[in-house]
Structure 1
């Protein structure tokens, strides 16, 4: 583990800033794929290291299952980011990001919904992987 609580908080702050910039430029109401492409470009402009559409490996009883699960972004191998553009956030979205964090063994996740008026107040939520609680103590 090469990071501290402050490192993770700073990374979340940087990615939130990039998402806010995209939202400020485009506003709500577009497809998730549009926000994904624009956020990808914004992360590149900010020189934030990431992988996009990362295939998530699943191990089950000694075999690797090809389930075609993909997380939107893995940022600096520390932060899972899932994007949405929906009118209502559903509990399954939280389950999805927590599962991705566990499968990838990542300490923190960020769920961003672009279909809101104010992305900072109502469009993002941070999740902590229970496996990494010692970082937050």
Structure 2
């Protein structure tokens, strides 16, 4: 399955959750619901998975925690905020 096909399933799942429970809840609630919906679709999804970062000869274990990792291809960083800022964008950079 391609990243685009996975993204379509994720988008449809997010839309379903938004229509049912709306806005304003904790990120953990949306993460739990999204994990549930994506699993129901038959995709492999992991929660709160750590990623090591290599810098030069330095290994930084557990440097980044992914909210959801789907099919080892798509990383989701879930936000429940009124608007995104530069700090949120920096969380999406992969070294």
Normalised to the residue count of structure 2, the TM-score between the two structures is 0.87
Aligned-residue offset at 1:30? 0.4
Q: How does 1:104-123 map to 2 (within 5 A)?
A: none
* Residue of structure 1 in register with 2:4 after alignment: 9
Does 2:26 match 1:31? yes
Does 2:47 match 1:52? yes
CA distance in 1, matches of 2:32, 2:24: 15
Deviation sequence 1:71-102 (CA, Å, 0-9, x none)? 111111111111100011112222211x2xx3
Q: 8 Å contact 2:43–2:70 — kept in the other structure?
A: yes
* Residue of structure 2 in register with 1:96 after alignment: 91
Which structure features the higher share of helix residues?
Answer: 1
- Does 53-62 or 81-90 show the bigger shift? 53-62
